[in-house]
Every structure is written in structure tokens, then in C-alpha cells.
Amino acid sequence: MSVLDRLEVPIVLAPLAGGPSTPELAAAVSEGGGLGFLAAGYLTAAATRERIAALRELTARPYGLNLFVPGAPSDPASYGDYARRVAAEREGAGEPRFEDDDWAAKLALVEDVAPPVVSFTFGCPSAGEIARVRAAGSEAWVTVTSPQEAETALAAGADGLAVQGSEAGGHRGGFTDAPDVALFSLLPLLQLIAADTDKPLVAAGGIATGGAVAAALCAGASAAAVGTAFLRAREAGTPAAHREALATDRPTGFTRAFTGRLARGIRNRFMDEHPDAPLAYPEIHHLTSPIRRAAREAGDGESINLWAGEAHALAEERPAAEILAGLATGAREALARAERRLSEGAP
């Protein structure tokens, strides 16, 4: 039995690394009957431990912790031109560098704290690493973006899969950033993966209404992961310029300009000026990080990563508990409507 089976509301907070994730937001979702999530990405293990403690002050209910799986350093020749160009264009660019997001210390933290769920992004941990997480008492989920990745994750021992469609905001969370890899939208991806496994699937990407929560359940998911729809919640750490952009119907697109890894955000000047940014994560993240920090503080939404899923215009500025309750009610209503629709014409 998965943690998911004990939720009052089959809704999981997407991790939202890099600012929006706060203990307050995660606690509000867990207290509301969903599964709150903390993002460990970009934090040290020590800072992650503090966030978990803060969350535990706010709720005793189940929660999840999301970790970035480290990749390999990129050849400096592959990103040198881009780094020089950005440094020439903008003041305060950082030094591109590789690091592993404090991986070993975070795995040790997980073994110590045993969050009810530990999910992984940007790669599949080894079978041994997954076994360690499970031995500590956590469920291990792996983020996948294709049927092949799902197969790999299940073979490595994953308890569940976060199934991320191409409509999702933020980074593609799969194992590879190769540019010729086929992207899957959520509905086809869910159907393909659900045809091959009975493990719980959490559907992520473009889910902004109760109707879409119900849709994800119908297409084979045990729960819906909701990210962008919580970015304007009072409890989220989303910067002001980001909140403003979310409230418009500006188009989204994919970019590697900010981090060196493909991510979906609201199109802005920095993205449009750098359409050919290289694959080099986290090197490019460190290159642009100080630029983005300064822009956030200056309220300059044209120079920061405005991560957002395709349905961002439907995100509402409300307390997280209200957003969650609205999604749950909407899901029930949508199912009842669909039920009527299906029986309506029946002879």
C-alpha cells in the first residue's frame, strides 16, 4: 500500500525547486489531505534538514522530499562560447561549475529522516541507492518522461513513478537531456506506461483544474501532481515578477538558456535572446544564477526563469488550502459530469 492510498485528496504538490518550494506550502497541501512536497534541489543537505524540521513543526501528515540525481560534468568546450557571451552581455555572471547537489549527504539525510516519500528527478538512482531509501522506510519514486525510462525505474526497484508530460512547467525531469529524444504529452505517456505496470503513477504536467485531476485518474494515475497551479499560492516562495507573468496568457516554451537543461517557462527576453544555449547542467545554472538573483530583486521578469506549465493562465492567487479544496471539488464534479455524458446516449 502506497502513501497515496491513504490520502484524502489524490493530489500531490509538485516539488517546485528553486524558490517556490516552502515548508508552509508543503504543510498546507498535506494538512488539506493531499501530499505536500519539499524540494531539496539547489539546497545543501543541512538546509534541507532545516526545511524538513520546519515542515514537521507545521504538520504531522505524510510528505515527500524531492532530490536531484547528479549527472556528469560537461566539456567546457561545449559551453565556453555561451558563458563568454552571457558574461559579456550581463553584469555579475557567475562561474560555470559542476557539482552534485550534495547527493551523498542528502542520501544520508534521507536514511536518517526517512521522509514518507522520496522522489528523484534528473536520473534513475542505482538499485542499491533505491534499496537504501526503501530500507530506511521511505517510498522511492522516480520521475520519468518516457515508457523506456519507466521500465528502467521499475527495474531499479522504484515503488512509484512521477510521470511527467511535456506540458509541465520547469525542468524536464527525465534521465536524459539529449535533444533528439521524443517528448511525450501527459495523456499518451500515462496510457503507455499504465499499460505496462500496476505500480502507482503520479501524473504531472498541465493539471490546473479539478477536471484535469479527474482526467489523470481516468487515464491511469493514482494521483495528480500539481505545480504551476500552486505557484501563486500565498504560501509559495514565488518571486513577484514570476507571479505577475503567471497571471497573463503569455505563451510558454522550452529553453536551456537559464540552466543548461531543458525546461518550460513563460517566454521572455532572456529566453528569446538565447535560443541555442548548450546542454550543460548545472554549469549554466551557476553561470546565470547571480544574474537571476539580481533580476528577481529588481523585479525584472525578462531576465529570470519564469517556469510555468502550459495552463499557467488558470493559476489563482489564493491560499493553498483553497486551491487544493477547489481542485478536489472540481474533480468530483467533473467525474459526475463525465458519468452523465457517458450514460446519456447509452441505449
* Binding residues vs a second copy (CB under 8 A): 5-10, 33, 147, 165-167, 182, 184-192, 194-195, 205-209, 211-212, 214-220, 222, 249, 251-253, 267, 309-311, 313-314, 328, 331-332, 334-335, 337-339, 341-342, 344-347
Q: Would you say the C-alpha torsion 172, 227, 35, 147 has a positive or negative sign?
A: negative
How far apart CA 224 and CA 216 sit, in angstroms, is 6
Name the residue nearer to a second copy (CB basis): 294 or 335.
335
Compute the least distance from the CB of residue 193 to a second copy, in Å. Answer: 11
Report the candidate in 188, 125, 182, 193 with the shortest Cα–Cα distance to residue 153.
125
| Nearer of residues 78 and 191 to a second copy, judged by Cβ | 191
Closer residue to a second copy, CB minimum distance, 206 or 282:
206
Q: Which is nearer to a second copy, 65 or 190 (CB)?
A: 190
**Cell numbers 477536471 correspond to what residue?**
211
Answer for the pair 97, 280: CB distance below 8 angstroms, yes or no.
no
Long-range Cβ pairs for the range 33-36 (8 Å, 24+): 33/7, 33/8, 33/9, 33/324, 33/328, 34/7, 34/8, 34/9, 34/10, 34/324, 35/3, 35/4, 35/7, 35/11, 35/62, 35/63, 35/64, 35/117, 35/223, 36/61, 36/63, 36/64
DSSP code of 45?
A: H
Give the residue with the Cβ less far from a second copy, 164 or 289. 164
Write down the least CB distance from residue 240 to a second copy, Å.
24
**What is the smallest separation between the CB atom of 334 and a second copy, expressed in angstroms?**
4
CB of 315 to a second copy, least distance (A): 11
User: For a second copy, which is the closer residue by CB, 45 or 189?
Assistant: 189
Q: Determine the Cα–Cα distance for residues 275 and 256; give it in Å rounded to an integer.
A: 8
Cβ nearer to a second copy, comparing 73 with 188? 188
In the complex, the smallest distance separating the C-beta of residue 24 from a second copy, rounded to whole angstroms, is 23
118, 138 Cβ separation under 8 angstroms: yes
Give the span between the Cα atoms of 194 and 29, in whole angstroms. Answer: 26
> For residues 45 and 297, what is the distance between their CA atoms, to the nearest angstrom?
26
Residue closer to a second copy, measured from CB, 21 or 222: 222
* Residue 109 C-beta: closest distance to a second copy, Å: 29
CB of 38 to a second copy, least distance (A): 21
Place of cell 534528473: 122
115 C-beta neighbours (distance < 10 Å), count? 25
Rg (CA), the chain: 19
Closest separation between CB of residue 335 and a second copy, Å? Answer: 6
